[in-house]
Amino acid sequence: MRTCFAIAKVKAKNKCRTFHGGPENNTNVGHDISKAGLGVILCIGAIIGIGGFFLLVGGLIKSGGIIGFLSGWVSAFTGV
């Protein structure tokens, strides 16, 4: 009866899967998720900033230059 248990233990040890490296080599998942979230936020901010720049350039072209743009902006802001 004892040999049956010893054989069962040996078979169980052979089927065990191990990962290379100890716990000190594992990455922190929360830290990686935070880095990915920050990357997404920065990319969205860059897209919004580029869109705003193109709208500003379009406004400058449509108004006929910097002077026309500034006078139109001041009149829209003050209501005069």
pLDDT exceeds 70 at position 49: yes
DSSP H stretches of helix in the chain? 2-14, 29-63, 66-78
Residue 47's pLDDT band (cuts 50, 70, 90): very high
Let me know if 16 is exposed, middle or buried by CB neighbors in 10 A (0-12, 13-18, 19+): exposed
Tokens of 22: 């100890």
What are 5-45's pLDDT values in tens digits? Answer: 555 555 555 555 555 555 555 567 888 889 999 999 999 99
